[in-house]
């Protein structure tokens, strides 16, 4: 029989060739591709999914002196694996924001140790590390492309829609159905009964305060609009905004209107390429008008005007006045968890300003580290040039979302689950610029195609060429087959 063709064995197609052995490079290639990007069409990895779901679980377990909430337990388990993956390069290159967030945790721990002693700094320093670096690196490791970013948004919108009917009931009746239900079998966050506003109760939901519920839901408006905004899904953004408004918080309602204005600006001027530069000029002009045409500073003007309760707005001005003085008096290590100097009539010790309280507690270096990391990610995303339309839409949604957190952070304090969600969102934006050529949907699809191609046998790679080879090589003509199979004389 001719060496060009052999008689097929039982169960084998005629004309098949022997499978060439894989080379060492071929064996390793699929693993490398899967490690650097999530395959297209897959769900959000389970560690990230469990963490996001745990954000709305108000149960608390007491372990010795520690109060471990559900989200905190997940971060404690995921911290070490995420750090190892990050150090090995599995989350992409280590960047300036990664270093900044890490230095923030370190400096905050040193500040608490300086103010209260080493032993007193162990517990709060560990909790801050878990909630800050743990949440940030969890997103860095598992939100690596457009598909995982979309799946993250999809899950968060579903969670808010799940909370929506309970929030409406609480808004009307004042009862706490979520906290009451979880309270039957575990300890939960404390129930806060605040005075109604405009005849309705302020919704607390599964969080420690109504402001946290409003900011948590409100942070998803732009993401729901741009990432989920096609067909009937365009109704999701108004529903998410409605859930946020149920908190009846001035800061939340201001951020809802802010996102609505930015979304409208982007829609109306979509054809104008420099629309965001124009908006920056208008904001700067408004700043100058307030600076030179008002007896208030721009910060005072914003805090005093954009509040439902005018008394609350003025109280926030006094917080800014005495809080900033505390920062200037203790610029390096702050005051830790100690009391801050203020008049006796300012009885509450709460500081409704996340950025200010960070500087007050841990000093200006800590504020520079965390705020610098925030702006480094935001500006890198803003000036990243992506080629496909989907990635550009996601990028606009992310920037509006982070703008909401920055503005909202000037009038509220972030803690517990919403704080971890904020750090998770920071880490989820690095894929826009930190994933090489895999920063778009097209790149994700090409990665999946390349992975499938490497998994195919060598002689079948490429649909057209493989078909041609099967027709012209693997299946010889009848005449040639008769010649090859003919017995030799």
Q: Which of 25-34, 178-187, 251-260, 290-299 has the lowest mean pLDDT?
A: 25-34
Q: Please report the pLDDT score of residue 312 as a whole number.
A: 73
Mean pLDDT score, 45-53 = 94
pLDDT confidence bin for 35, thresholds 50/70/90: very low
Is position 294 within any domain?
no
13 has pLDDT over 70: no
Q: Please report the pLDDT score of residue 73 as a whole number.
A: 95
Q: Please report the pLDDT score of residue 371 as a whole number.
A: 96
pLDDT confidence bin for 467, thresholds 50/70/90: very low
Q: Please report the pLDDT score of residue 461 as a whole number.
A: 39
Q: Please report the pLDDT score of residue 347 as a whole number.
A: 72
Q: Which of 36-45, 304-313, 393-402 has the lowest mean pLDDT?
A: 36-45
Is position 253 within any domain?
no
Query: What tens digit of pLDDT does each residue of 307-360 get?
Result: 656 677 778 888 888 999 999 999 999 999 999 888 888 877 788 899 999 999
Query: What tens digit of pLDDT does each residue of 131-169 get?
Result: 999 999 999 999 998 899 999 999 999 999 999 999 999
Q: Please report the pLDDT score of residue 320 as a whole number.
A: 87
231 has pLDDT over 80: no
Mean pLDDT score, 50-69 = 91
Tally of structural domains, the chain = 1
Parent domain of 395: 32-212+311-447
User: What mean pLDDT is reported for the chain?
Assistant: 80
Is position 292 within any domain?
no
Is position 400 within any domain?
yes
Is position 6 within any domain?
no
Q: Please report the pLDDT score of residue 69 as a whole number.
A: 93
Q: Please report the pLDDT score of residue 42 as a whole number.
A: 55
Query: What tens digit of pLDDT does each residue of 111-130 get?
Result: 999 999 999 999 999 999 99
Q: Please report the pLDDT score of residue 486 as a whole number.
A: 47
Is position 238 within any domain?
no
With pLDDT > 90 as the criterion, what percentage of the chain qualifies? 51
Q: Please report the pLDDT score of residue 310 as a whole number.
A: 65
Is position 402 within any domain?
yes
Is position 224 within any domain?
no
pLDDT confidence bin for 436, thresholds 50/70/90: very low
468 has pLDDT over 70: no
Q: Please report the pLDDT score of residue 303 as a whole number.
A: 65
SS (H, E, C) the chain: CCCCCCCCCCCCCCCCCCCCCCCHHHHHHHHHHHHHCCCCCCCCCHHHHHHHHHCCCCEEEEECCEEEEHHHHHHHHHHHHHHHHHHCCCCCCCCHHHHHHHHHHHHHHHHHHHHHCHHHHHHHHHHHHHHHHHHHHHHHHHCCCHHHHHHHHHHHHHHHHHHHHHHHHHHHHCCCHHHHHHHCCCEECCCCCCCCECCECCCCCCCCCHHHHHHHHHCCHHHHHHHCCCHHHHHHHHHHHHHHHCCCCHHHHHHHHHHHHHHHHHHHCCCCCCHHHHHHHHHHHHHHHHHHHCCCCHHHHHHHHCCCCHHHHHHHHHHHHHHHHHHHHCCCCCCCCCCCCCCCCCCCCCCCCHHHHHHHHHCHHHHHHHHHHHHHHHHHHHCCCCCCHHHHHHHHHHHHHHHHHHHHHCCCCCCHHHHHHHHHHHHHCCHHHHCCCCCCHHHHHHHHHHHHHHHCCHHHCCHHHHHHHHHHHHCCCHHHHHHHHCCCC
Query: What tens digit of pLDDT does each residue of 155-213 get?
Result: 999 999 999 999 999 999 999 999 999 999 889 988 888 888 888 999 999 999 999 99
């Amino acid at each position: 029989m001719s060496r060009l063709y052999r008689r097929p064995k039982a169960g084998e197609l005629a004309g098949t060739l022997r499978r060439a052995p894989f080379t060492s490079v071929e064996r390793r290639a699929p693993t490398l591709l899967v490690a650097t990007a999530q395959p297209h069409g897959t769900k959000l990895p389970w560690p990230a999914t469990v963490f996001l779901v745990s954000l709305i679980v108000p149960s608390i377990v007491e372990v010795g002196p520690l109060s471990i909430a559900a989200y905190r337990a997940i971060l404690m388990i995921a911290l070490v694996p995420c750090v190892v993956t990050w150090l090995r390069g599995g989350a992409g290159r280590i960047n300036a924001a990664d270093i900044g967030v890490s230095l923030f945790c370190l400096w905050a721990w040193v500040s608490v140790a300086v103010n209260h002693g080493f032993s007193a700094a162990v517990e709060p320093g560990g909790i801050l590390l878990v909630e800050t670096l743990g949440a940030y690196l969890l997103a860095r490791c598992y939100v690596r492309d457009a598909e995982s970013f979309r799946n993250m948004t999809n899950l968060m919108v579903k969670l808010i829609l799940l909370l929506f009917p309970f929030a409406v009931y609480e808004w009307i009746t004042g009862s706490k159905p979520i906290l009451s239900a979880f309270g039957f079998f575990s300890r939960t966050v404390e129930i806060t009964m605040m005075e109604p506003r405009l005849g309705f109760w302020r919704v607390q939901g599964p969080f420690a305060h109504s402001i946290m519920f409003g900011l948590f839901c409100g942070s998803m408006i732009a993401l729901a609009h741009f990432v989920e905004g096609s067909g009937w899904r365009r109704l999701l953004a108004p529903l998410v905004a409605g859930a946020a408004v149920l908190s009846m918080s001035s800061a939340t309602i201001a951020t809802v209107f802010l996102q609505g204005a930015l979304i409208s600006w982007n829609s109306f001027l979509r054809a104008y390429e420099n629309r965001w530069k124009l908006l920056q000029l208008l904001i700067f002009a408004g700043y100058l008008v307030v600076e030179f045409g008002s007896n208030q500073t721009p910060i005072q003007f914003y805090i005093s005007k954009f509040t439902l309760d005018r008394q609350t707005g003025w109280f926030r001005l006094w917080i800014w006045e005495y809080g900033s003085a505390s920062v200037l008096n203790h610029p390096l290590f702050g005051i830790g968890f100690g009391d801050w100097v203020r008049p006796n009539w300012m009885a509450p010790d709460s500081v409704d300003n996340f950025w200010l309280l960070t500087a007050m507690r841990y000093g200006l270096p800590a504020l520079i580290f965390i705020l610098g990391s925030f702006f480094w990610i935001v500006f890198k995303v803003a000036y990243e040039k992506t080629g496909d339309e989907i990635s550009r839409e996601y990028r606009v949604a992310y920037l509006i979302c982070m703008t909401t957190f920055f503005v909202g952070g000037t009038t509220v304090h972030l803690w517990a689950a919403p704080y971890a969600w904020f750090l998770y969102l920071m880490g989820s934006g690095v894929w826009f610029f930190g994933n090489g050529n895999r920063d778009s949907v097209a790149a994700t699809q090409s990665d999946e195609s390349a992975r499938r191609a490497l998994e195919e046998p060598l002689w079948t790679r490429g649909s057209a060429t493989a078909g041609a080879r099967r027709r012209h090589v693997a299946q010889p003509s009848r005449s040639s087959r008769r010649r090859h199979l003919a017995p030799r004389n």
